[in-house]
């Protein structure tokens, strides 16, 4: 069994920040314990154009970043004693927000224990981080327990299943902290960020929409609030109960295939890619479900997010994994038109559509896939 922990990494994607009413200049001053002369500080963040990294040399433990931003940005401050970039594992990192005004980072021993002081966004974020600290420490301990276990033990289903259950319970606690914070801080910009963090890469509209609606009018009417309201509107188009949006794409032979061609059957729209490890790990479960239920009016429509020029890898993965159902792709990677239509931001992701074209379940994997098909179609 493979654990599905949300492992911490040296570089992570920062959530898009909230747009401010006007542009603003920020100055970030840092002072840490003495470091080698080769040390550099890095800021990693996401903009509308994509990921960005800034770097400065650290002198006698001090460094400074400055710039102008349109919005508070969730960012990661990363220190590399060798000054060789941010791609090395295990580098110390600290999450903070770039926001207009002065921001300070100070730590006498380590970056992880450094204090961040700044404007209202960083102040509110500090409150949330302190609330999350106990559960985050427990999650990190489980990750460490797995990483330090002998290889044979890591392959033990009994061991990994037990850890997974403990981790999922902590995820529930983490969600509860987010929800409590959001409900008690409806006027905080951090609450909108928290909704996105709670939702993850595959949001459940039924869960996040009421939380968004509970925010203050000022947060909802902000440029970022309006943008997220539009995201929710698009998510609802592919939520359970909605009619699955139709799309047309070419299959492996270049023939046009439309979702409407599958009316009258239960069809699992399965978003995946040959380069996606978790997708390839899930494929055997889909193969098993297809074999069990294809005689009962069930099929699968695979939609690949493979990149331009990767047609051969896509075809090879289909054959290697024994995917005998219809496969389509426009080979545009994350710009896949069907993925955009279904607001797909992470894979594997799937949508179960009934014979009338209505979405009746989403993101069903492993044993849950078979159990859901049994519920709707009957025992095989």
Q: Is residue 334 part of a domain?
A: yes
Q: Does one domain contain both 86 and 197? A: no
Q: Is residue 8 part of a domain?
A: no
Q: Which residue reads 């929710």 in tokens?
A: 232
Residues near 138 by Cβ (< 8 Å), separated by ≥ 6? 170
Q: Does one domain contain both 66 and 136? A: no
pLDDT band at 366 (very low <50, low <70, confident <90, very high): confident
Compute the radius of gyration of the chain from its Cα atoms. Answer: 23
Q: Which of 84, 100, 118 delimits the end of a domain?
A: 118
Q: Does one domain contain both 161 and 232? A: yes
Q: How far out from the chain centre does Cα 89 lie?
A: 20
Q: Does one domain contain both 78 and 136? A: no
Helix H or strand E segment including 57:
strand 50-57
On whether the CB atoms of residues 92 and 111 are closer than 8 A, the answer is: yes
Q: Cis before residue 153, ω within 30 degrees of 0?
A: no
Is pLDDT of 373 > 80? yes
Q: Does one domain contain both 296 and 355? A: yes
Give the CATH number, domain containing residue 373: 3.40.30.10
pLDDT tens per residue across span 249-264: 999 999 999 999 999 9
Q: Is residue 360 part of a domain?
A: yes
pLDDT tens per residue across span 102-113: 999 998 888 888
Give the CATH number, domain containing residue 88: 2.60.40.1120
Q: Does one domain contain both 157 and 68? A: no
- 291 CB neighbour count, 10 Å cutoff: 12
Q: Which of 118, 152, 167 delimits the end of a domain?
A: 118
Is pLDDT of 116 > 50? yes
* pLDDT at res. 2: 42
Three-state DSSP class for 298?
strand
Q: Is residue 29 part of a domain?
A: yes
Q: Is residue 59 part of a domain?
A: yes
pLDDT band at 94 (very low <50, low <70, confident <90, very high): very high
* pLDDT at res. 4: 47
Dist CA 285 CA 274 (whole Å): 16
pLDDT band at 47 (very low <50, low <70, confident <90, very high): confident
Q: Does one domain contain both 213 and 143? A: yes
* pLDDT at res. 323: 97
* pLDDT at res. 51: 85
DSSP-derived secondary structure letter, 6: -
The whole-chain average pLDDT of the chain stands at 89
Q: How far out from the chain centre does Cα 118 lie?
A: 27
Domain of residue 292, residue span: 248-377
pLDDT tens per residue across span 226-246: 989 999 999 999 999 999 999
Q: Is residue 169 part of a domain?
A: yes
Q: Which of 82, 100, 118 delimits the end of a domain?
A: 118
Dist CA 151 CA 140 (whole Å): 19
pLDDT band at 23 (very low <50, low <70, confident <90, very high): low
pLDDT mean over 207-217:
96
Q: Does one domain contain both 111 and 162? A: no
Is pLDDT of 91 > 80? yes
* pLDDT at res. 352: 98
Tell me the percentage of the chain whose pLDDT exceeds 90: 74
Q: Which residue has the higher pLDDT, 271 or 345?
A: 271
Q: Does one domain contain both 137 and 105? A: no
Is pLDDT of 5 > 80? no
Q: What's the total number of domains in the chain?
A: 3
* pLDDT at res. 65: 96
Percentage helix, strand, coil for the chain under 3-state DSSP, each rounded to 5: 40, 25, 35
Q: Does one domain contain both 146 and 113? A: no
pLDDT tens per residue across span 271-315: 999 999 999 999 999 999 999 999 999 999 999 999 999 999 999
Dist CA 219 CA 65 (whole Å): 28
* pLDDT at res. 25: 92
Q: Is residue 101 part of a domain?
A: yes
pLDDT tens per residue across span 69-84: 877 888 999 999 999 9
Q: Does one domain contain both 139 and 33? A: no
- 165 CB neighbour count, 10 Å cutoff: 10
Three-state DSSP class for 149?
coil
* pLDDT at res. 69: 86
Q: Is residue 192 part of a domain?
A: yes
Strand spans (E) along 108-224: 115-117
């Amino acid at each position: 069994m493979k654990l599905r922990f949300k492992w911490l990494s040296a570089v992570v994607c920062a959530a898009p920040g909230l747009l401010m009413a006007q542009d603003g200049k920020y100055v970030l001053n840092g002072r840490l314990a003495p470091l080698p002369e080769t040390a550099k500080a890095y800021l990693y963040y996401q903009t509308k154009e994509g990921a960005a990294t800034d770097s400065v040399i650290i002198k006698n433990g001090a460094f400074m970043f400055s710039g102008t931003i349109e919005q508070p940005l969730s960012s990661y401050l990363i220190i590399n004693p060798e000054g060789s970039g941010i791609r090395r594992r295990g580098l110390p990192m600290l999450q903070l927000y770039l926001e207009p005004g002065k921001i300070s980072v100070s730590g006498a021993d380590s970056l992880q224990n450094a204090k961040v002081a700044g404007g209202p966004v960083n102040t509110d974020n500090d409150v949330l981080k302190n609330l999350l600290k106990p559960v985050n420490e427990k999650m990190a301990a489980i990750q460490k327990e797995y990483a330090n276990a002998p290889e044979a033990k890591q392959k033990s289903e009994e061991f990994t299943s037990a850890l997974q259950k403990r981790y999922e319970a902590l995820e529930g606690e983490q969600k509860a902290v987010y929800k409590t914070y959001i409900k008690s801080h409806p006027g905080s910009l951090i609450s909108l960020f928290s909704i996105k963090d709670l939702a993850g890469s595959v949001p459940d509209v039924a869960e996040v929409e009421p939380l968004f609606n509970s925010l203050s009018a000022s947060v909802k009417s902000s440029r970022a609030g309006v943008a997220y309201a539009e995201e929710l509107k698009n998510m609802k188009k592919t939520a359970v109960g909605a009619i699955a949006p139709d799309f047309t794409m070419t299959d492996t032979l270049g023939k046009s295939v439309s979702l409407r061609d599958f009316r009258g059957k239960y069809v699992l729209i399965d978003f995946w890619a040959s380069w996606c490890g978790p997708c390839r790990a899930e494929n055997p479960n889909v193969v098993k479900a297809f074999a069990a239920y294809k005689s009962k009016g069930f099929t699968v429509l695979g939609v690949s997010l493979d990149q331009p020029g990767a047609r051969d890898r896509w075809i090879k993965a289909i054959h290697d994994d024994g995917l005998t159902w219809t496969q389509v792709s426009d080979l545009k990677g994350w710009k896949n038109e069907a993925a955009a239509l279904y607001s797909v931001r992470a894979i594997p992701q799937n949508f179960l559509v009934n014979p009338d074209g209505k979405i009746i379940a989403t993101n069903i994997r492993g044993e849950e896939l078979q159990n859901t098909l049994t519920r709707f179609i009957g025992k095989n």
